[in-house]
Amino acid sequence: MIRRRKTAAKAPPKLTVNPLTAKWNGGFAIPPFEKIEVRHFKPALEAAFREHNAEIEKIAKNPAKPTFANTILALEKSGWQLSRIASLFWNLEASDSSPELQEVARDMAPRFAAHETHVLLDKRLFKRIDDLFERRESLKLSDEDRRVLERHHLEFVRAGARLSAADKARVKKINARLATLVTQFMQNVLKDEQSWQLVLEGDNDLSGLPPTLRESAERAAADAGLKGKALITLARSSVEGFLTFSARRDLREQAFNAWIKRGATDGETDNRQIVAEAVALRNEYARLMGFKSFAEFSLQDTMAKTPGAVSDLLSGVWIKALERAGEERDALRAEAQRAGDNSPIMPWDWRYFAEKVRKAKFDFDESKLQPYLELENMIGAAFACATRLFGLRFKERKDLPRYHPEVRVWEVLDKAGAHVGIFMGDYFARPSKRSGAWMSAFRSQHKLAKGQSPIIVNVLNFAKGADGEPALLSFDDARTLFHEFGHALHGLLSDVTYPSISGTAVSRDFVELPSQLYEHWLSTAEVLGKHALHYKTGKPMPKALRDKLFAARNFNQGFATVEYTSSALVDMALYSAEGDPIGDIERFEEETLKGIGMPAEIVMRHRLPHFMHIMSGYAAGYYSYMWSEVMDADAFAAFEEAGDVFHRPTAKKLYEFIYSAGNRRDPHAAYVAFRGRPPKIDGLLKKRGLAA
């Protein structure tokens, strides 16, 4: 757990040994979290920047003719100290932050951008890489070496290495400003989430909430010093559960509005102008690079390649989703009227009445699942699937360092008992953590020098159980756990030589394939039958309940698809806009949604003022979840066609070409090598219940 010094009038003591720059001698070279203080980061990072600059300078001014070894291999071996400290810093800033750590992040974000830009715009360095690239056919490189050379060359070109001196100077300013904007945006969303809570008092406020949700809300209140009350927060598992079950329409409206207005509440955390400026800067950057828009620039290095290809996918799904959502809305309206409520269906009503329709149509109550979806058992289920598919074993290590007391640590072993890596699970919501769920790496795998095994973390935001009770998940929560663990396996199973192509360092619209594919195993009768056990009795989920779950799996998919696809369409429109910069992003959002026929009863899954994906690595890229979904549905069908969801020969190919391969080959080629053909869209439409 990172230590935070209390503010004091006297100057801090001089550093003797900075634990960040010293050798990490603990088990598996895990960061010494217990020794680290916020004040250690700035001097450690500055020293790491200097060290990396010296390494780059040595490569750039090498008088010898460029070779793969003295240029590309040297680049891959440079910056290791910076990489390990930066990975630690940004992971902590997202998952266990503090005002002090956030202040360091605001200071260092433009520093990171300036350093990266300095390296990528070094004309001496690019000259060496370009020389190798032009001679690549005659260099007798291995396939992996050639791939790494080509990726480095493309990275430098896309960073602006071929621009004029004046344009390079502008790129440096753009990158620095964007780094500041993105950091401030993320911190603003976190502050809005931290500052809002809905306190529930008495049975009237709790009306409609199932016991599991009541208990977790009471636990949240107790943790916040509000013993005897219940608390709903803006953690997704808390607020979505409340919107699904609360019989108090007025309170649902309060919670829903707080959820969708994050980043747009005026004051110091307002993100609207930040988004507008970031979009304008990215589009300016794209034009400097010779593209009409940032979307066109961004998609060049993806599987999709062009905005037109993305539009074809999204538009085709959108039409079917709108039709299905209209049918669902009519059913909700009828259900409300049967209950004596003639009010129009509003966005804060959808989940509530959808749950009632589902219960009536399928005799299925979502809340009945939760007693069988205990967090511990779902972690075990995710591990067990990895054992059957890839031969992995997971040994919990309570003796190893962790950055927060709630974090759990496992050593990952292969079937022969050899060390594979370290997996950390950070499962519960807390004020110091951003909302959402993600996978990240404290250390990525590679084979250079003595090699390096990965340290991978999954960060989620589940609600804790009541005192003395385990955490019980919704089915969506359990699916999220499997999704993020699929990403984790992509990092843990990586088996490549070079750091730059390790693990999840793949095309943005390919990176979601391993995670979305892994979700499929949760929904199999085999996994649920063995691991969905009642948290009190230990009895398995009844087959009748499983059957109802499977029968209802495509229920409300019109809503879910509209919610997601509208976000992807707005993202693409935002970064495809040509001409004058967008001033009012909320108006842009409203007009774009109107233009595509967005139903008034549904709000896009991520509104622009809190759309963290498109402010960071998924700008003009939110579509990629659906692009990957085409592949994940098609890929799982390979197991179904084999008649065994754990079919060993298919799992072996999945390991070889997808999970362990990093970015060794073009993603389309990687998929074809696994499946034997390109993916077909049929599986996606069937999975979402949108096919005839």
Among candidates 616, 53, 619, 644, which has minimal Cα distance to 297? 619
For strands 230-232 and 198-200, give the pairing: antiparallel
User: The tokens of 527 are what?
Assistant: 């996994």
Pick the closest to residue 636 from 460, 495, 533, 482 (CA basis). 482
- How do strand 230-232 and strand 393-396 relate by DSSP bridges? unpaired
Task: Give the tokens for residue 644.
Answer: 């065994």
Instruction: Say if residues 378 and 473 touch (Cβ distance below 8 Å).
Output: yes
Q: In the chain, what's the furthest Cα-to-Cα distance?
A: 83
- Examine the residue annotation and report whether 629 is marked as an active-site residue of this protein: no
Amino acid at the residue 225: G
Using CA atoms, how far residue 376 sits from 33, 133, 217, 303, 469, in Å, is 25, 50, 20, 37, 12
For 477-533, the DSSP string reads HHHHHHHHHHHHHHHHT---S-GGG-TT-S-TTTTHHHHHHHHHHHTSHHHHHHH-B
For β-strands 455-462 and 419-428, DSSP reports them as: parallel
DSSP letter assigned to residue 293: S
What's the count of helices (H) and strands (E) in the chain, helices before strands? Answer: 27, 7
Q: Distance between CA 232 and CA 237 in Å, rounded?
A: 10
Q: Are 263 and 188 in contact (CB under 8 A)?
A: yes
| Strand extents, DSSP E, 251-383 | none
Cα–Cα separations (whole angstroms), residue 442 to 89, 136, 229, 276, 439: 9, 33, 38, 32, 10
Q: Cα(595)–Cα(152) distance, rounded to whole angstroms?
A: 40
Buried b (16+ CB within 10 A) or exposed e, 273-286: ebbbbbbbbbbebb
Picking from 339, 309, 254, the residue whose alpha carbon sits closest to that of residue 576 is 309
Interior angle at CA 521, CA 520 and CA 527, nearest 5? 145
Q: For residues 278 and 184, is the Cβ–Cβ distance under 8 A?
A: no
Alpha helices in 339-474 (DSSP H): 347-362, 375-390
DSSP 84-128: HHHHHHHHHHHHS--HHHHHHHHHHHHHHHHHHHHHHT-HHHHHH
Give the containing element (helix H, strand E) for 440.
Answer: strand 438-443
Return the DSSP state at 472.
B
- In this structure, what token pair is assigned to residue 580? 């004058």
Asked if residues 199 and 231 have their Cβ atoms less than 8 Å apart, the reply is yes
Catalytic residue among 328, 411, 484, 519: 484
- Euclidean distance between CA atoms 81 and 79, whole angstroms: 6
Helix 585-596 and helix 557-576: axis angle, to 10°?
130
What amino acid positions are annotated as catalytic residues?
484
